[in-house]
């Protein structure tokens, strides 16, 4: 057995990587678990369209038929969207198990990074990364995304960490793992639904070219691990940070009352927040993903020039 037994890269993506063309990886959990059908599929198609129109090649990643598939067809994206929550979320620990089972799986930030790295893709656009959950000092609920960022050489463009998390502890954990957190045109960490929080990023960057230069320096020095590019949600879709925090606290309290734990926590909280905001949070979620796809494309284009 070798890697080819467990990987399937589309011809378009493989050609782009081999010819040093810009490619942007995309996760599939946002399709199966991030939002309802058909909005999930429509959003996935639109994100790929945005990346193509920006001059890069999209590479949505999922687990299908016992292989890590890098570059999905529209039919495969539609399948994941329709199957929704019945598709297993796959993180690092689950990857060999789901590959052997042959069952479909959607990739989290961690497994999308793994698939992207194996395929030779350096830039990945998502919504928000996982991190240290609130009350983690008691629950030890810490996303595997953070460990992956500490060892896999992929740049993750996101709207910060998901706002349901403990942002301060997430930043501390990333610092321990040696992961640079770059704020795109901001000194404050975006909080997913909100353009800003009270927490500082490591460095403010003002252009895709500057980010590409940082990538070049980091990987030339063989400094393993990812880079976070924290890209604030567009202002017209942003929630007030304190207002959203109150909503999140209500959702977290309800999750605790219902005994929601582990991998069920994030989908429960996002759904509850959507209810409490009368659907506005879902619109914001979609728009921030589009915004991240545009920036990721620009970074991939600039890095391909290095």
Tens of pLDDT, residue by residue over 75-88, are 999 999 999 999 99
260 pLDDT band, cuts 50/70/90, is confident
pLDDT of residue 88: 96
pLDDT at 287 over 80: yes
| Assigned CATH for 3-304 | 3.40.1790.10
Is the pLDDT at 142 greater than 90, yes or no? Answer: no
Count CB atoms within 10 A of the CB of residue 205: 20
Per-residue DSSP letters for the chain? --GGGTEEE-HHHHHHHHTT--EEEE-SHHHHTSS-TTHHHHHHHHHHHHHHHHT-EEEEEEEETTEEEES--HHHHHHHHHHGGGSEEE-GGGHHHHHHH---EEE-HHHHHHHHHHHT--EEE-S-B--BBTTHHHH--B-HHHHHHTTS--EEEESBB-TTB-HHHHHHHHHHTT--EEEET-SB--BTTBS--SSB-SEEE--HHHHHHHHHHHHHTT--S-EEEE-PPPGGGPPPHHHHHHHHHHHHHHHHHTT--GGGHHHHHHHHHHHHTTTHHHHHHHHHHHHHHHHHHHHHHHHHT-
pLDDT at 253: 84
Among the options 89, 122, 162, 272, which is catalytic?
Answer: 162
Q: Which of the pair, 88 or 276, is modelled with greater confidence?
A: 88
Could you confirm whether 76 is annotated as catalytic? no
Residue 59 pLDDT level (bands cut at 50, 70, 90): very high
Res. 43 pLDDT band, cuts 50 70 90: very high
Query: 193, 184, 186: which is closest to 228 by C-alpha?
Result: 184
Average pLDDT over residues 272-291: 90
Q: Tell me, yes or no, if 185 is annotated catalytic.
A: no
For the four alpha carbons of 108, 110, 115 and 117, in that order, the dihedral sign comes to positive
Count CB atoms within 10 A of the CB of residue 165.
26
pLDDT surpasses 70 at 1: no
Given a contact cutoff of 8 angstroms between Cβ atoms, the answer to whether 111 and 91 are in contact is yes
pLDDT per residue as tens digits for the range 150-178: 999 999 999 998 877 889 999 999 999 99
Chain CA centroid to CA 246, Å = 24
Percent of the chain with pLDDT over 70: 99
- pLDDT at residue number 289: 97
Domain residue ranges of the chain, discontinuous segments joined by +: 3-304
Write down the catalytic residue from 27, 48, 76, 302: 27
pLDDT at 5: 92
Each residue's pLDDT tens digit, 171-220? 999 999 999 999 999 999 999 999 999 999 999 999 999 999 999 999 99
pLDDT band at 73 (very low <50, low <70, confident <90, very high): very high
Whole-number Cα distances in Å, 4 to 7, 68, 101: 5, 10, 17
Of the listed ranges 10-14, 126-130, 232-236, 248-252, the least confidently predicted one is: 248-252
CA nearest neighbour of 136 among 109, 169, 103, 107: 169
pLDDT band for 42, please (50, 70, 90 cuts). Answer: very high
Q: Which residue has the higher pLDDT, 222 or 245?
A: 222
The mean pLDDT of the chain is 93
């Amino acid at each position: 057995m070798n890697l080819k037994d467990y990987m399937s890269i589309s011809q378009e993506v493989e050609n782009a990587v081999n010819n040093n063309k810009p490619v942007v990886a995309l996760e599939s959990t946002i399709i199966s678990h991030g939002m309802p059908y058909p909005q999930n599929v429509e959003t996935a198609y639109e994100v790929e369209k945005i990346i193509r129109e920006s001059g890069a090649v999209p590479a949505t990643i999922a687990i299908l038929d016992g292989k890590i598939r890098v570059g999905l067809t529209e039919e495969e994206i539609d399948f994941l969207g329709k199957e929704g929550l019945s598709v297993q979320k796959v993180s690092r620990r689950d990857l060999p198990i789901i590959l052997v089972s042959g069952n479909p799986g959607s990739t989290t930030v961690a497994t999308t990074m793994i698939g992207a790295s194996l395929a030779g893709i350096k830039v990945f656009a998502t919504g928000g990364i996982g991190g240290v959950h609130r009350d983690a000092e008691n629950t030890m609920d810490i996303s595997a995304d953070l460990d992956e960022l500490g060892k896999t050489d992929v740049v993750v463009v996101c709207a910060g960490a998901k706002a349901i998390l403990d942002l301060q502890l997430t930043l501390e954990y990333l610092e321990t793992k040696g992961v640079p957190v770059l704020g795109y045109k901001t000194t404050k960490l975006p909080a997913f639904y909100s353009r800003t929080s009270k927490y500082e990023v490591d460095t403010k960057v003002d252009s895709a070219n500057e980010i590409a230069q940082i990538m070049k320096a980091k990987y030339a020095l063989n400094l393993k691990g990812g880079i976070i590019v924290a890209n604030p949600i567009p202002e017209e879709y942003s929630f007030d940070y304190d207002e959203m925090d109150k909503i999140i606290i209500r959702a977290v309290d309800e999750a605790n009352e219902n005994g929601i734990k582990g991998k069920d926590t994030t989908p429960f909280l996002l759904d509850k927040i959507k209810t409490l905001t009368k659907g506005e949070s879902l619109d914001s979620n979609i728009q921030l993903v589009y915004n991240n796809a545009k920036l990721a494309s620009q970074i991939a284009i600039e890095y391909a020039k290095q």
